[in-house]
Amino acid sequence: MNQNLYKSRNRWRNFFLLRFILLNQVLFLIFLLSQCSLPSKSKTSQEPQIQIHFISDEYEETKFIPSSLFESKDLLLILAELSKKEDPSMRFISTNRTEEIMEVNGKRNSWSEGWVVYVNEERIDGIQMKRGVRVGPNDKIEIKYEAVERVFGRPRP
């Protein structure tokens, strides 16, 4: 009888010892995985970004500029920063009163076509750009190469 009791106790002890070892190994694996610094796509996609969509008959691309949800930035400064990085390559014409995009990735304005800026589907002219147009992550920004009417070289609204 003592021997049966001894075997039974050993079985329970072995059972609990095995569970304890398995639990420790699982916890150790969880600790190791938590220490790994793998990049997470869900983290970067949750950060607010200002999106600028460039559209022409031979070029279409969307640029993403990091921004906080409650921060607005000057559109002209954003475009100038992209131009400085040549991503995309852009050239501007600037006067005391107006600012105009002249070229994007080699696609240059002509007398009948040119780069036009839209913010939330509203056309933005060069004078507004010069005065400052604030944009944030919730704004829809498109820069399209389309037909324009010019008077004395300046696009007409």
Domains of the chain, by residue range, sit at 1-38, 43-155
Dihedral sign (CA 32, 35, 39, 44) = positive
Closest CA to 126 of 157, 103, 151: 157
Task: Look up the pTM and report it.
Answer: 0.66
Asked whether the beta carbons of 148 and 116 are under 8 A apart, the reply is: yes
Cα 8 to Cα 2: distance, rounded to the nearest angstrom: 10
Asked whether the beta carbons of 112 and 148 are under 8 A apart, the reply is: yes
Rounded to 5 degrees, φ, ψ at 24 are -60, -40
Largest separation between any pair of C-alpha atoms in the chain: 112
Q: What is the 3-state secondary structure (H, E, C) of the chain?
A: CHHHHHHHHHHHHHHHHHHHHHHHHHHHHHHHHHHCCCCCHHHHHHCCEEEEEEECCCCEEEEEEECCCCCCEEHHHHHHHHHHHCCCCEEEEECCCCEEEEEECCEECCCCEEEEEEECCEEECHHHHHHCCEECCCCCEEEEEEECCEECCEECC
Q: Does residue 145 carry a pLDDT above 90?
A: yes
Q: Which fold has domain 43-155?
A: Ferric Hydroxamate Uptake Protein; Chain A, domain 1 (2.170.130)
Higher per-residue pLDDT: 123 or 2:
123
* Predicted confidence band of residue 108 (pLDDT cuts 50, 70, 90): very high
Model pLDDT, residue 134: 94
pLDDT digits (tens, 9 = 90+) for 32-91: 666 665 444 444 456 889 999 999 998 899 999 888 877 889 999 999 888 888 888 899
Q: What is the mean pLDDT of the chain?
A: 82
